[in-house]
Structure 1
Amino acid sequence: MLNPQWLRSFSTLAELGNFTRTAERLDLTQAAVSQHVQRLEAQLGPLLIRRPRQIELTPAGRALLDYCTDVGAADARLHRRLSDNDPTRGEISLITPGSIGLALYPHLLDLQQRHPGLSIRHRFAPDHDVLTAVLDNHFELGLVTLKPDDPRLTVTRFAEEPLELIAPAGVPARTWTDLDALGFINHPDGHAMASRLLTRRFPGAPGIRTLRCTGFTNQIALIPEPVALGLGFTVLPRYARQAFARPEAIQVIAGEPTVVDTLWLIHRAEWPLSARAQHAADELRSRIQAAGDNAPDPRARPAAATPGRPSAADTKRKN
């Protein structure tokens, strides 16, 4: 590795074009500047063409000057990354499951718009990949749906997210017979989520795998699209449904009991969060809470508790 002091002398000399002025700026003797350049030339070959009143860089000298620029930029990046005191500058790295990621990403962009010194790096990933990425220091912050017990992690409650039964707007979806007629729009976690919710809502039903599958996608933002087109129903976390661009085309079928997952914020326990990561985590948590994510959805419709039979609300209306 080349001596940083030699590189500083060379880059300053290239800027000023004069040994005397270079020595004055760096608070060195002219002999010291000449010696630094000579030592570089001993390793790299001729770097300068010396003339009485000016110097000219050789091709090797220009290559070294480019190298000095790269080293300076890398040094600045390193200092920015190591500077934890400014919550409005530096990189915020966050890795999350898809549903909560859809809800948080607009807030991350808003945070960056208000603080242009921030750089946002956000990735969507399942729980296992989130844990690995945070433990391997590839991301400073992560969100998971299953609380980890790894002592290398600090784990705090971030938010709660119910599972929702989602059907096309205006289409009956109150009984197991209705759901069977609609068909199921599946996704990578579809059967697991649907089983957790529907076995509680419809305890006498034969199970989600007995329903015909009318579609599948692994893109969480696109899962509500076939539902909106009337091609089937699905079960999704609330934040995924709230991110859908055409809420008027779908309905949430309310019912009891509910299934609610806790989202856990994780980061490495051995060192403190950077000021920018802590600020972002606090702001994102408050925004999610302020959004009223636990409030009833205005499009929600009650579901029947027993397959093929009217709900309690229907019975009460008839009486």
Structure 2
Amino acid sequence: MLQPQWLRTFRTLVSVGNFTRTAERLDLTQAAVSQHVRQLETRLGTLLIRHPRKIELTPAGHALLDFAREMETAEQRLTQRLAGNEDSHGDIRLITPGSIGLAIYPRLLALQQESPGLNVHHRFAPTREVVEAVLENRFELGIVTLKPDDPCLSVTEWAREPLELVVPTGVEIHDWGDLETLGFIDHPDGQDMASRLLSRRFPGNPGISSLPRSGSTNQVSLILEPVARGLGFSVVPRHAREAFTDHQAIRVVPPPEGSTEVVDTLWLLTRAEWPLSARARRVLEYLKVSL
């Protein structure tokens, strides 16, 4: 009999492509990961071809991966059937990028206050990790800004989030030189967002890389702190700006008259093979109304 833990280890190893990261993801030792793979290969034959920087599945490995996914699907369907249609008890597991997470998390807590039997588990993560977490069934719901293409995922447009040019209160932006004087406060998605918005606002500009950096942070809730202190400007999604507490210290530079906003689409991810739990359906309905 194939142990469920061995299958979970194998699925995770194929997903992340590395023994060390698999051990970290599953909170195992690397030796334990190797042992699980050896146990499977003792019973099924060679499953992996190990290269210096990647692993490659053999035909037996592909067959086992399909089997593992079928077992995961069957287990999830069993769990859903046993759970019934209960929407006020159990875990809510949602993984999102930073800006929309800042808007969603307080609302999830409000829902939990209404139904104390619910347990909210929310995680901030980049797109790649969100996709992996939903595929591996660690989170039932995921939200991303880049639409993935995976047949195991159900992907639907969930919301649209404008990007905003945010400067210190009292600062006027008339041309590119004003941005050069301020300097750019960077963040993990900062250069991509700034490039898209500023190319629309200042056609023919020399590019975001030409602007001086006044600082950076990887904490979405802190991006606008240096802006509020007059240390630079940034480009952030609207939800990140709305979540910032010191609104009087910052100002959104509106688009020129006749110009359209630059908008990111937010995509909702779920596993395609099974229906959403009653809890997840309730969460989505609640968020649509409250947002």
**TM above 0.5:** yes
Q: Is the 8 A contact 2:92 2:280 kept in 1?
A: yes
> Which residue of the partner structure matches residue 4 of structure 2?
none
Are 1:263 and 2:266 an aligned pair?
A: yes
Distance of 2:217 and 2:91 partners within structure 1: 32
> Which residue of the partner structure matches residue 149 of structure 2?
149
Q: Is the 8 A contact 1:161 1:262 kept in 2?
A: yes
> Which residue of the partner structure matches residue 131 of structure 1?
131
Change (3 A) 1:86 1:180: same
Report the CA distance between 1:174 and its aligned residue. Answer: 2.8
Report the CA distance between 1:80 and its aligned residue. Answer: 9.6
Change (3 A) 1:228 1:82: farther
Distance of 1:257 and 1:175 partners within structure 2: 18
Q: Is the 8 A contact 2:165 2:235 kept in 1?
A: yes
Distance of 1:221 and 1:272 partners within structure 2: 33
Gaps of 5+ in 1: 1-77, 289-319
Residue by residue, what CA displacement relative to the aligned partner does 1:77-96 show, whole Å, maximum 9, x if unpaired? x9899414111110000000
Map of 1:44-193 to 2, 5 A cutoff?
A: 82-193=82-193
Distance of 2:207 and 2:79 partners within structure 1: 57
TM (norm. structure 1) is 0.64
Indicate the SS of the match to 1:258: coil
- Which of 1 and 2 has greater Rg? 1
Q: Is the 8 A contact 2:133 2:139 kept in 1?
A: yes
Q: Is the 8 A contact 2:161 2:265 kept in 1?
A: yes
Distance of 2:206 and 2:137 partners within structure 1: 45
Which residue identity is paired with 1:186? D
Which residue identity is paired with 1:195? S
> Which residue of the partner structure matches residue 284 of structure 1?
287
Report the CA distance between 1:136 and its aligned residue. Answer: 0.4
Residue by residue, what CA displacement relative to the aligned partner does 1:155-184 show, whole Å, maximum 9, x if unpaired? 111110011100001112232111111110
Q: Is the 8 A contact 2:184 2:215 kept in 1?
A: yes
Change (3 A) 1:232 1:131: same
Distance of 1:95 and 1:166 partners within structure 2: 26
Change (3 A) 1:257 1:79: closer
Which residue identity is paired with 1:262? T
What is the Cα-based RMSD across aligned positions, in Å?
Answer: 1.6
Are 1:273 and 2:273 an aligned pair?
A: no
Q: Is the 8 A contact 1:80 1:90 kept in 2?
A: no
Indicate the SS of the match to 1:120: strand
Map of 1:5-24 to 2, 5 A cutoff?
A: none
Residue by residue, what CA displacement relative to the aligned partner does 1:267-311 show, whole Å, maximum 9, x if unpaired? 0010111100111012112222xxxxxxxxxxxxxxxxxxxxxxx
Indicate the SS of the match to 2:273: coil
Map of 1:210-221 to 2, 5 A cutoff?
A: 210-221=210-221
Distance of 1:225 and 1:81 partners within structure 2: 47
Distance of 2:90 and 2:196 partners within structure 1: 41
Residue by residue, what CA displacement relative to the aligned partner does 1:47-95 show, whole Å, maximum 9, x if unpaired? xxxxxxxxxxxxxxxxxxxxxxxxxxxxxxx989941411111000000
Change (3 A) 1:80 1:200: closer
Change (3 A) 1:178 1:93: same
Distance of 1:280 and 1:93 partners within structure 2: 10
Q: Percent identity?
A: 61
Report the CA distance between 1:115 and its aligned residue. Answer: 0.1
Q: Is the 8 A contact 2:80 2:277 kept in 1?
A: no
Report the CA distance between 1:204 and its aligned residue. Answer: 2.3
Change (3 A) 1:202 1:91: same
TM (norm. structure 2) is 0.70
Indicate the SS of the match to 2:116: coil
Indicate the SS of the match to 1:270: coil
